[in-house]
Amino acid sequence: MKKSKGARFGIWLLKVLVSYTVFILLGLLISLIPAGNLGISEEMFYNLRMFFMLFGPVYLTLIVKIILIFIQTAQGKNSNTAETGRGAIFAVTALLLLANLSNTQTASDLAAGMVEGDGFKTLEHSKRYFLKGNHFG
């Protein structure tokens, strides 16, 4: 029998709570290590710990989902769940990696960087201002 949507949401919420609990406890254990032993400042160590505790479950979930999709594809099993979730997972992963690689602090920084990048690309391919576009490449 299929479970109701409320029961599935409850199970999903329980998994999220357990995942965050594990990562927060690991972050608290990491806090026992002095930052000086790692060769980084206290502020950087605190930021890394917070990043690990907040985004660790998100990245772990994405990595596991992607690996499971590759395994299902390699085995030849084409389930609707993998096909439906694949696009969303890759889109979220691409946005997270783009934000991480472009060193953005907020969503507005990411948007501004994307707009500037598109503008530079337009200048580079422009027939009228092609010389200006080459300065940015």
Give mean pLDDT in consecutive 10-residue pieces for the chain, a chain of 137 residues: 73 87 88 84 86 85 80 70 62 71 72 74 67 54
Determine the pLDDT at residue 94. 72
* Residues 16, 10: Cα–Cα separation, whole Å: 10
Give pTM, 2 decimals: 0.48
Asked if residue 16 is part of any domain, the answer here is yes
Asked if residue 130 is part of any domain, the answer here is no
Asked if residue 88 is part of any domain, the answer here is yes
Write the DSSP symbol of residue 33: S
Q: In terms of residue numbers, what domain contains 61?
A: 5-101
Determine the pLDDT at residue 89. 67
Total count of domains within the chain: 1
Determine the pLDDT at residue 88. 66
